[in-house]
Structure formats: C-alpha cells, structure tokens
Amino acid sequence: MTSRMTETTKASSKTKDKDFVTRLADRGEEALQRFADLPGGQKAIGAVHDLRTRVDDLAKKVRGIDALEVRVTKLEKEVAALKKAKAPTRRPAPRKPAA
C-alpha cells in the first residue's frame, strides 16, 4: 500500500511541477508583452537582444583563446630551438704577431 501511495504522490508532484513551470512560462510571456507595450519597451527589448547576441559572439571568441595559447607556446619553443641552432660559436680572436 505504501508503494502505491508513493507512486501516486510522485505522479501528482510531477504534474504540479509541470503546471508550475507552465504557469511561470506563461506569466513570463505576459510580462514581456506588458513590458513591450510600455514607452521605450521595444527599445529595451531590442537592446537586451543585441546584448545577448554580443555575449554569444564574445563567448565563441573566448573559447578559441585556449587553442591559441597552445599554438603560441608551441611556436615559442620552436623559436627558442631555432635561436639555439643559429647561435654562432665564438671563435677566439686572432692573435697579433709579436713585433
């Protein structure tokens, strides 16, 4: 009997949660509609939309920074290796013959 009550309680809980989420979504849409009807509301909504677009673009660029750092580190190592290979060996200066 307890398991049957638990199943019923879980089912009604899911229904209540779904109803709550649905109601919240509906109220959010209504709030946006009311906000858009206010003077300057359309501009504000447009600005928020533009901001979201810019943040998305920025996030894409930031994700690419890690790959660039790896490439720069690799190139720095290669340049250091080339500098070591090209470093001329110093020869002693020729001696002047004694006069």
Confidence of residue 3 (pLDDT cuts 50, 70, 90): low
**Which amino acid makes up residue 20?**
F
**pTM reported for the whole predicted model:** 0.41
pLDDT in tens, 65-93: 989 999 999 999 999 999 988 766 666 67
Q: Residues 34, 35, 41, CA angle at the centre, nearest 5°? A: 135
CA-based nearest residue to 35, from 22, 26, 44: 44
